[in-house]
Amino acid sequence: MKIAIIGTAFPYRGGLANFNERLACEMQKDGHQVSIYTFSLQYPDFIFPGKSQYSEDDAPKDLKIERVLNSLNLFNWIGAGNKIKKENYDLVVIGYWLPFMSPCLSAVANRIKSNKHSKIVSVVHNMIPHESRIGDRFLSNIFVKNCHGFLALSSSVLEDINSFDNQKPKTLSPHPVYDNFGKSVSKQEAISHLELDPQYKYILFFGLIRDYKGLDLLIEAMPMVKEKSVRLIIAGEYYSDRDFYTDLLQKNGLKDTVIDVNGFVAQDEVKYYFCASDLVVQPYKSATQSGVTQIAYHFNKPMVVTNVGGLTEMCPHGKVGYVVEPNPREVAKGINQFFLEADLEQMTKNIIEEKKKYSWNKLSNEIYSLADKC
């Protein structure tokens, strides 16, 4: 097949770009001709909370990526849609994650499907954003009307899609394991690389820091952790007010013991943070699913996750980690269970077995099957 993927990709950075690029690689491995269409302008500076939208890594090899979409320009949407339409793709896969992108992606999809040939399938990361705003449902509804079918990455997202449309074909396929961050290194090598003290055990909070991710819950949980040789690593760029978290660290007596990276972690550095850590904690207050879970799986790391959205689907309680309620006391309880009670050898075996469910080949095949139903 001739396939187009529309969404975030290099030179942009982050989980969505990694997802689309990894999916393109899998589809090419399946023997298909794949092109990625990404943004010339993704987020305007006035709504982007971080330091940079752009990757400092090298461009991915063997992928055709073209920057054609301007998220703010109506005339661009029509032109880009017509350009992609003329290519007569058999399948167009559009990643959807934010209602802000709906006008652009909807207009492009509308132009493409007028060729009466291309099947338009959306891989939906979030239908309703974690931090919702007035107008989000209206915008997402426009996007839904311009697609032929939908693949949800978690049950909660599938429910959200059904709240907009219960007629068009849909399927559920869990987020695959991120296997594009390199092979594991030894804990000793990782600790040495990051210049950490080897006498401590480490908990990892990884990823962009936004309020819904519950870093405050984890900070408030740390004084209740019974294993006193544990240190917290916060590895990510603050998209929320850093001063709030700095004050909270000070209030809880953690300011001098927490490793606060405060920056986007480059792709070739990710393995060191995961391999140096004993436990990955995702104390989210709301979630659909999380790419952090799938990086933890790749590096065979146990997890503590909160009982929100699709996180529980991905982390069977007591098997690959612990599921807790989203409050400091429960987060501390999960951490204590791991350090005081867990059979690490058995849990690692469980992780290796469990992650077999989350393959890119399964996802690509689900997309092809869904397209056949559209």
Domain boundaries, the chain: 2-176+359-373, 187-356
How far is the CA of 160 from the CAs of 26, 80, 94, 152, in angstroms? 27, 28, 17, 9
CATH annotation of 187-356 = 3.40.50.2000
Q: Give tens-digit pLDDT for 267-310.
A: 999 999 999 999 999 999 988 778 899 999 999 999 999 999 88
* 11-28 confidence digits (pLDDT tens): 998 889 999 999 999 999
> For residue range 186-208, what is the model confidence (pLDDT) as tens digits?
999 999 999 999 999 999 999 98
C-beta of residue 85 within 8 angstroms of C-beta of residue 109: no
The CATH code of domain 2-176+359-373 reads 3.40.50.2000
Amino acid (one-letter) located at 241? D
Q: Sign of the C-alpha dihedral, residues 269, 272, 273, 275? A: positive
Query: For residues 251 and 244, what is the distance between their CA atoms, to the nearest angstrom?
Result: 11
The percent of residues in the chain predicted with pLDDT above 90, rounded, is: 84
Q: What pLDDT score does 47 carry?
A: 65
Residues 82-107 have a mean pLDDT of: 97
Residue 143 phi/psi, 5-degree rounding, is -65, -45
Q: Which is it for strands 91-96 and 119-124: parallel, antiparallel or unpaired?
A: parallel
Check for a shared fold between 2-176+359-373 and 187-356: yes
